[in-house]
Each structure stands twice: as C-alpha cells, then as structure tokens.
Structure 1
Amino acid sequence: MEQYRQEHFGHAVMPQATHDEQAMEDHFLAMRAWTNRNMDPLDRRLLDEVIVPGIEKKTGTKPTSSAQVRQALEAHPLHQYWLTLSLTYQDRIWQALDGAIDRQYDELAGKVKAQVAEPKGSLRLNPELEIPRYIAAFDHHRMPGSYVVDTAQDDFRAGALYDRFASTYLRNLNGGWKNDGRGHSLASHVQDFYPDFKPKRILDLGCSVGHSTVAIAQAFPDAEIFALDVGAPMLRYGHARAESMGVPIHFSQQDAEHTDFADGSFDLVCSSAVMHETSAKGMRQIFKECHRLLRDGGVMCHVDVPPRHEHLSLWDQMRCDFESHYNNEPFMTSLARIDWHKVAVDAGFAGDTVLVGYRKGTSYLKPDREDFFTEGHPQGQAMIGSWYACSAMK
C-alpha cells in the first residue's frame, strides 16, 4: 500500500491531503481554470478593443508596450475583477495547503528524519549565510514565508509547502507530481547540443527542493550531483525527498552568486527557473560564477520562464508584468527584456558557443534539436509548452 501511495500520490515525504482538503484544492484549481478559460479572453478583448483604441484616440499614437496601457487597464472594473480572481485562487490554494501541512507536520517530521538517517547524499547548512535581498524581501509566488523562513528547529515547512503547491498548481503541466519537466528539458538540451559531453560533476544552482536536480541526476547517472540554495527549510526537505527517491545529491546552503567551490570544479553548471527570481545584477554575477566554476570544455545551461517582450502580444506583455506587479516575481519583467547572449559573453563565454532560444518542454528525456527555436514557438505562442534556454561552453 505504501509503495502504491508513493507511485500515485508522491514520494515518502510528500504532504498528503484528506478528502476535504483535496476538495478545497480542486475547488480553487477549478476557479483558476475557469478564470483562464473565460476571463482571460474577455480581458484580452477589453485591452485590444476598448483600452488600446481609447488611448490611440486620446494621444494619436497606438500603444506598443504594456507600460503604456497599464494605468487605463487597471482602472477598468472588468480588469479589476480579473485581478481579484487571479490573486484569490492562488492565495487560497496556499492557505489550504498550509493548513494540511499543519495537520500532519509531526508525522512529516518523522518521515523526513527517517529518510536521512542513512543518507547516500549529504546536506551542508550555513546559518550565517547572508540571504540576497532579492530573495529575502519577498514572499515569492505569494508563498507565505517564501523559501527561507524557519518556523521551528530543523524546519522543512517551506520545502513541503512548495513541493505540494508545485505538483498541485502545475498539475500534469510540468512532469506531474514530480514537477520535474524543467529538469528533463534542461537535460535534453544538454544531450542534444552536446552529444559527446559526459559530465562527471554537476552543480544545480537555486535547486529549491530538487525537482529539476533529481531529473538531471537521472539523466546523467554516472555523475556526482551537487545542488545549492539559500533556503535552509527547502534544503532539509529536498535532501529527504531525494533520499526517499534513492537519488544521492550533495545539498549545500549557498548564494549562487558567490559559492565556496574551487575554480574549475564542475563539468556542468545549471539552473532552472532561477533567473526570473534574481535581480539583473545578480543574474550577471551568477553567469560569471558559472564561468569560474566550469573546467575548460565544461557547459553552462539555464532554463527559465519563456516570455520575451519582443515576441509577445500587448496582453501577453501585461500578463507577464502581472507576475512582477502582483505575484511577487519582481524581476520577471526585466528578465523578459535582458539580452541573455550578451550576459553570457560579458561573463567570459565565447559568443559563438552561446545558444539562446526557446526549448520545447518535455517530461522525459527526448533529445530533438527540432524542439529548439531561436524566435519562439512556431505558432508564435512563445509562452505555451516551452522554456527559455541559454547554454554555452567554456
């Protein structure tokens, strides 16, 4: 029965839901689906058919940037209703999951402890680590306490909450309950464009609870896997999670901008969905750190959220900006405008080795160079079913 539960409802330390808790999750997921299906098209029409013509009539110029329409759009009751729904279902999902973790916290603590009793991997924490402000100052995704807040000794709550939310909110969209689609997409990108590359030491930056790290470890079974994050509760949980899945990973609490590993320590340095939560200055320093950490011939690879303002409609630009203004993803908008190729070159990578474009998402290893688009999704829907990828060789 325990094996069946883990196969169908998660690993050994995944928080579980009662019937009523699951019904509450499903209710607000249904609200999300209803909003996406019914309100998003109306809000898009509001922008295209009311707001834009109104601004054009008033100024004589048709707006081309979301910044030019935001004030007028947010003054309209229909858009205010869309905003309210979008924030309500997300906050209520967090609330429901948090209550479920409260109910089973002691039981989960016992499971976490049991999983790391005889570890194959390791965990190294640094209580003195200075958390970057771009992490410490926000509850990312509106997640209570974000990644770094400890609520008890040896706390793992943030990791458990994030793991359960990710598998719930992105249900069947990013690899199912494992939430490992980004990791598989990253590994596929590396195997596709660097087919003879056989990394022996891999570092995953900003690993959170190891969703992508485990997938990368499975893709490169002969490699020694290291992972770091600034959040101690994320790492405690991630360590137990990896152990419960039989994957040895060496976790450490570090800032990706300045790690304590020696020069040339790794063959592959990577990250998934980290840069959009990092300041522009921090991103540039992380790329420089990647260059320092790689041996000659080593590979850097990052995958992140796909919006690029130059490829988006006006409403999709606004939808991207929504994440920055209201969903506590403050750097999403700036990332959508950053020249990743230039950042990589400025960090020391030769320009002709840098690949930047959209990588079609996959929940399994499927190397296929036709899945990589430098100008976005072939139907022009750059945000759907893809990740933005940047890789380079030192």
Structure 2
Amino acid sequence: MEQYKQEHFGHAVMPQANHDEQALEDHFLAMRAWTNRNIDPLDRRLLDEVIVPEVEKETGAAPTSSRQVRQKLEAHPLHQYWLTLSLHYQDRIWYGLDAAINRQYDELSEKVGAQVASPKGSLTLNPELEIPRYIAAFDHHRMPGSYVVDTSDFDFRAGALYDRFASTYLRNLNGGWKNDGRGHTLASHVQDFHPDLKPMRILDLGCSVGHSTLAIAEAFPDAEVFALDVGAPMLRYGHARAESMGVPIHFSQQDAEHTNFEDGSFDLVCSSAVLHETSAKGMRGVFKECFRLLRKGGVMCHVDVPPRHEHMALWDQMRCDFESHYNNEPFMTSLARTDWVKVATDAGFAEENVHVGYRKGTTCLKPDRADFFTEGHPEGRALLGSWYACSATR
C-alpha cells in the first residue's frame, strides 16, 4: 500500500489527504475552474466593451496599458466579484492543506527524519543568514508564513505545505505531483541552445523544495548538483524529498545574490520561477552573481512566468497586475516590463550570447527548438502553456 501511495500520490514525505480533506481540495479547485471558465470571459468583456470605451471617451484615446483602466475596472461590481472569487478559492486551498498537515505532522516528522538518516546528498543551514526584504516582507502567493517562517531546528512545515499546494493547485499542468515541468523545460532549453554543454557542476538558485532541481539532475546525470534557497524549512523538506526519490542534491541556505562559492565554480547556474519573486535590484544582483559563478563557456539559464506586457491584451495585463496587487507576487508586473537582455548584458554577458523568449512547457526532456518563440505563442496567446526563458554563455 505504501508503494502504491508513493507511485500515485507522491514520494515518501508528501503530505496525504484523507477523504474529507480531498473533497475540500476538489471543491475549491472546481471553484477555480468554474471561475476561469465562466467569470474570466465576462470580466474580459466588461473591460473591452464597457471600461475601454468609457476611458476612450474621457481621454480621446484608446488605453494601451492596464494602468489606464485599473481604477474604473476595480470600481465595477462584476470585477469585484471576480477578485473575491479568485482570492477566496486560493486562500481556502491553503487553509485546507494547512489543516491536513497539522493532522499528520508527527507522522511526517518521522518520515522526514528517516529519509535523511543516511543521506546521499547534503544539507547546510545558516541560521545567521539575513533574508532579503523582498522575500521576508511578504507571504508569497498568500502562502501562510511564506518560505522562511522557521519555528524549530527541525521545522519543515513550509516545505511540506508548498509541495502539496503546488501539486494540488496545478494538477498535472506542471508535471503532476512532482511539479517538475519547469525543470524539464529549463533543461530542454539548455540542450537546445547549448548542445555542447556537458555540465559537471550545476547550481540551482532559489530551489524551494527542489521541484525543478531534480528534473535538472535527471537531465544531466553525470553532474554534481547544488541547490540553494533562503528558507530553512524549505531546504529541510527538500533534502528529505530528494533523498526519498534517490537523488543526491547538495542543499544550502544562501542568498542567490551573494553566495559563498568561488569564482568560476559551475558549468550551469539556473533558476525556475524565482525572478518574479525577486525585486528589480535583486534580479540584477542574481544575474551578476551568475556571471561570477560561471566558468568560461558556462551557461546561465532562467525560466519564469511568461507575461510580457508588450505581447498581451489589456485584460491579460490586468491579470498579471492582479498577481502583484492582490496575490502577494509584488514584482510580477515589473518583471513583465523588464528587458532581460539588458539585465544580462549589464551583468557581463555578451548580447550575441543571450537568448530570450517563450518556451513551450514540457513535462519531460524535450529539446525542440520549434517550441521557442520570441514574440509569444504563434496564435498570439503568450500565456498558453509556456514559460519565459533566458540563457546566456559566459
């Protein structure tokens, strides 16, 4: 039975749901799907057919940015209803998962301890690490306590909560319970644009619980893989998770802008879904640190959320802004307007060695250049099953 659970519901330390907990998850996931299917189109029509004409009549010009329509849109009851639903179902999923982890916390503690008793990888924590304010100041995506709340020397709660939420909320959209689609997408991008790279040392920045890290390790099986994050509970859980899946990863608690590794230490330095939770200044610091850490000929690669304001309709811009204004993703809007090529060149990479564009998501290693677009999806839908990728050679 335990083997069946691991194959169908996750690894050995994945929090499990009983009947009532699963029913609660399913209910609010259904609410999310219903909102996306029925209310999103109405809200889009409200913006395009009511709000935009009002703004155009008042200003004499059609709005081109969500900033020009936000105040009027948010004053409308239909949009307020959309906002309420969008926040409600997400908060209730967090609440339900948190209660489920409370119920089985002692059992999970035993499992986590058992997995790290004879580790193949390693874990190094730094209780004195100063957490960057852009991480410490927010409960990111409304996750209670975010990544860094640490209540004891063995606290893994944040990691368990994030792991279960990611596999629940995305439900087979990003690799199922492994939630490793971004990692496979990143590795595919590296193999596409840097086919001669045979990395022997890899560093994954902002690894959280290692969702993408393990996929990257799978893609480059000969490499020694290091992963860092600022959240100690994430790393304790991620270490146990990796050990339960038989993958040796060397985890450490560090700030991605200022690591303790020597110059030229790595062949590949990467991150997935980290930059949209990093300030503009922090992002530039991360790129500079990547340049320092790479050997000559080494590769930097980042995969993140795909919104680009220049490629989106007004409602899609607003949807991106919603994440910043209400869903505790405060830097997503600024990232959507950031020139990634300039950030890379300012960090020291030559412009001709930088590749930036949309990458169609994959849940397995699939190096297919046809899945890369510089202007978004060929049908004009920049968000459709894609990620935004940036790679550069040192």
> What TM-score range do you get, normalising by the shorter chain?
over 0.9
Tell me the distance in 1 between the aligned counterparts of 2:379 and 2:328: 29
User: Would the aligned equivalents of 1:151 and 1:157 in 2 still touch at CA under 8 Å?
Assistant: no
Question: Which residue in 2 is equivalent to 1:73?
Answer: 73
Q: Which residue of 2 aligns with 1:31?
A: 31
Separation (CA, whole Å) in 2 of partners of 1:332 and 1:197: 31
CA distance in 1: counterparts of 2:354 and 2:191, whole angstroms:
15
Q: Deviations over 1:254-303 (max 9, x none)?
A: 00000000000000000000000000000001000000000001000000
Say which SS state the counterpart of residue 111 (structure 1) adopts. helix
Aligned counterparts, 1:34-45, within 5 A: 34-45=34-45
1:137 aligns with 2:120: no
Q: State the alpha-carbon separation in 2 of the partners of residues 359 and 374 from structure 1.
A: 9
**C-alpha separation in 2, matches of 1:39 and 1:346:** 42
Structure 1 unaligned residues grouped into runs of 5+: none
Shift of 1:58: 1.6
- Find the aligned partners of 1:55 and 1:201 in 2 and give their Cα distance: 54
Runs of 4+ in 1 over 6 A off after TM superposition: none
Give the structure-2-normalised TM-score: 1.00
Q: Which residue does 2:311 correspond to in 1?
A: 311
Aligned to 2:285: 285
Distance 2:277 2:70 in 1: 22
- Equivalent-residue separation in structure 2 for 1:66 and 1:134 (angstroms): 24
SS of residue paired to 1:328: coil
Distance of 1:190 and 1:54 partners within structure 2: 47
Structure 1 stretch 185-194 or stretch 118-127: which is displaced more? 185-194
Counterpart of 1:299 in structure 2 is: 299
CA contact (8 A) 1:345 1:351 kept: yes
- SS, match of residue 302 in structure 1: strand
Task: Give how far 1:384 is off.
Answer: 1.2
1:49-102 deviations in whole A, cap 9, x for unaligned? 000101111221211100000000000000000000000000000000000000
1:141-180 Cα distance to aligned partner (Å, 9 max, x none)? 0000000001333100000000000000000100001000
Alpha-carbon distance in 1 for matches of 2:270, 2:156: 24
1:60 aligns with 2:57: no
Match of 1:19 in 2: 19
Cα distance in structure 2, aligned partners of 1:253 and 1:178? 22
Structure 2 runs not aligned, ≥5 long: none
Does 2:193 match 1:193?
A: yes
Matching residue's letter, 1:232: A
- How big is each residue's C-alpha offset from its partner over 1:1-24, in whole Å with a ceiling of 9 and x where there is no partner? 211110100000000000000000
1:278 partner letter: T
Partner of 1:92: 92
Percent identity among equivalent residues? 86
Which residues of 2 match residues 1-394 of structure 1 at below 5 A?
Answer: 1-394=1-394
Query: Aligned partners of 1:3 and 1:104: how far apart in 2?
Result: 18
**Aligned-pair Cα RMSD in Å:** 0.5
- Separation in structure 1 between the aligned mates of residue 71 and residue 44 of structure 2, nearest angstrom: 15
The code of the aligned residue for 1:135 comes to I
Report how many residues are paired: 394
Deviations 1:208-266 (A, max 9, x none): 00000000000000000000000000000000000000000000000000000000000
State how far apart, in whole Å, the 1-side matches of 2:201 and 2:382 are.
32
AA partner of residue 179 (structure 2) = N
SS at 1:267's partner residue?
A: strand
2:252 is paired with a residue whose SS is strand
Q: Distance in 2 between matches of 1:342 and 1:318?
A: 25
| Contact 1:306–1:382 (CA under 8 A) maintained in structure 2 | yes
